[in-house]
């Protein structure tokens, strides 16, 4: 009994240690490259696009197989009573007849207005288009990961700013309390310091919540389970300003050649042109090669089952020509629809060009703007920091009111936030310009 108690105690201790180690485990720190690589492999939107490519490949293989002949087997067992025609001998009889028939038949299309060849080519174009649509899905995930990752970094740094402000305001509360006890300030100055500390504590909580919300969004893009913890890797805070030297139209032309949206639009025109060729093919006749083999047995024949199967064995081969004369204007409507779809595809291509230009123009202008904002925000932050430091010293000496100190601290906080926002927006738009040209995203 004592041995059992010792073993049970040992297992409980080991389980408790393991549970404690699990609860205190450090979350995995993800770099941007790791996030992008993992999302491309696991994101369900990308997987869905890959499945569509696989389906297009199956349809392409099926279209190529339409050139092959088909082959069907058939068998039947029949009973008839009374006046009927023997299904084997074709004699008119008035009797009970048991009959069996087996056979195979095949047909192969020799010509169908070149529709088969055009359908195969169209399916090939659709397969190629699906691969580029898959690339679009991957690109969209990369951009989403980049935006969410930088937003997470921004909110993570905002936590540090909020925590530093909270520490400073808590010290100010202690100073205000000492000055209040010494009769140097009024009660409302002390309560204002307390209010600022409470506000800063609220800001810390809000900043942490904002960071967690961004982490949740990032985890969903990565398709990570809710129980898995993660952190984002901090980039160099002293990174140099990004210089934008490329010409806007050069970036735009590079984007037209790189981004798969343009290839999808061009292929969409080609697909609809093939659809027009397929529709026109319905005006032409269809020529098919047909053949069959079969045999049978009938009960009114005195020969044995095997003898009849041997004697009744027959083979047929022939050609079938189907000439369209009038099909209620269905072919005419299909040709008109295909022609209109070509025009729509050309308009969609123009829209794709406009959308790419809008993306490049927006990223370019924002990159220029945020680059100037970084310089201005950094200078403003330095000035606000110096002003706040002086305000703290004056407050310690009793030469500044609590209200003025709070105003100075809030000004410094806003300057820090403005700098963070400008810095990460500048990084985002520069990376987008690089990405639109096919360059790697690097932080």
Q: Which two tokens stand for residue 157?
A: 């740094």
Tokens read off for 261:
């949206």
* Banded pLDDT at 412 (limits 50, 70, 90): very high
> Per-residue pLDDT tens for 166-194?
999 999 999 889 888 988 888 998 999 99
* Over residues 144-163, mean pLDDT: 96
pLDDT at 244 over 80: no
Cα 234 to Cα 29, 210, 437, distances in angstroms: 9, 17, 26
- Say which residue the tokens 């806007």 belong to: 248
- Mean pLDDT of the 1-25 span: 44
pLDDT score recorded for residue 40: 96
| Tens-place pLDDT, residues 23-59 | 445 789 999 999 999 999 999 999 999 999 999 999 9
- Give, as one character, the DSSP assignment of residue 154: H
Asked if residue 5 has pLDDT above 70, the reply is no
Taking residues 229-243, what's their average pLDDT? 72
pTM of the predicted structure, to 2 decimals: 0.85
> Could you tell me what percent of the chain has a pLDDT over 70?
91
- Amino acid 443: pLDDT: 76
Task: Give the pLDDT confidence score for residue 82 in this predicted structure.
Answer: 72
Mean predicted lDDT score pLDDT of the chain? 90
User: What Å distances lie between residue 402 and 92, 173, 201, 257, 410, CA to CA?
Assistant: 119, 10, 18, 60, 12
pLDDT confidence of residue 16: 45
Q: What is the pLDDT of residues 196-213, one digit of tens each?
A: 999 999 999 999 999 999
Tokens of 441: 């995203």
Quick one: 125 exposed, middle or buried, by C-beta within 10 A (0-12, 13-18, 19+)? buried
CA distances, 381 to each of 158, 167, 185, 284, 376 (Å): 14, 19, 30, 77, 9
Mean pLDDT over residues 77-86, rounded? 79
């Amino acid at each position: 009994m004592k041995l059992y108690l010792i073993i049970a105690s040992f297992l409980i201790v080991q389980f408790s240690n393991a549970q404690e180690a699990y609860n205190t485990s450090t979350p995995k720190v993800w770099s941007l490259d790791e996030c992008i690589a993992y999302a491309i492999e696991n994101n369900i939107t990308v997987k869905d696009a890959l499945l569509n490519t696989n389906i297009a490949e199956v349809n392409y293989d099926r279209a190529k197989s339409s050139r092959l002949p088909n082959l069907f087997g058939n068998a039947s067992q029949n009973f008839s009573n009374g006046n009927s025609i023997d299904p084997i001998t074709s004699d008119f009889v008035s009797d009970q007849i048991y009959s069996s028939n087996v056979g195979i038949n095949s047909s192969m299309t020799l010509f169908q207005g070149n529709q088969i060849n055009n359908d195969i080519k169209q399916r090939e174009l659709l397969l190629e288009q699906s691969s580029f649509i898959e690339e679009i899905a991957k690109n969209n995930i990369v951009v989403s990961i980049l935006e969410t990752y930088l937003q997470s970094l921004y909110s993570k740094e905002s936590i540090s700013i909020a925590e530093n402000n909270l520490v400073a305001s808590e010290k100010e509360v202690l100073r205000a309390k000492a000055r209040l006890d010494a009769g140097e300030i009024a009660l409302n100055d002390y309560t204002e310091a307390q209010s600022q500390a409470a506000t800063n504590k609220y800001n810390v909580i809000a900043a942490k919540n904002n960071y967690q919300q961004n982490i949740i969004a990032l985890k969903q893009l990565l398709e990570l389970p809710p129980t898995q913890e993660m952190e984002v890797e901090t980039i160099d805070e002293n990174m140099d300003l990004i210089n934008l030297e490329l010409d806007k139209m050069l970036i735009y032309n590079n984007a037209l050649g790189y981004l798969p949206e343009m290839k999808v639009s061009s292929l969409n025109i080609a697909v609809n042109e093939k659809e027009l060729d397929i529709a026109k093919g319905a005006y032409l006749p269809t020529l098919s090669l047909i053949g069959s083999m079969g045999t049978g047995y009938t009960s009114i024949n005195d020969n044995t089952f095997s003898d009849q199967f041997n004697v009744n064995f027959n083979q047929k081969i022939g050609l079938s020509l189907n000439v369209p004369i009038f099909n209620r204007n269905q072919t005419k409507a299909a040709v008109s629809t295909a022609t209109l779809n070509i025009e729509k595809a050309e308009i969609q291509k123009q829209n794709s060009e406009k959308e790419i230009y809008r993306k490049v123009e927006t990223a370019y202008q924002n990159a220029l703007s945020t680059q100037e904002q970084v310089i201005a925000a950094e200078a403003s932050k330095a000035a606000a920091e110096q002003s706040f430091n002086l305000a703290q010293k004056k407050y310690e000496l009793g030469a500044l009111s609590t209200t003025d100190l709070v105003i100075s601290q809030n000004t410094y906080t806003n300057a820090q936030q403005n700098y963070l926002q400008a810095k990460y927006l500048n990084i985002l738009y520069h990376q987008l310009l690089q990405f639109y040209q096919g360059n790697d995203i690097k932080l």
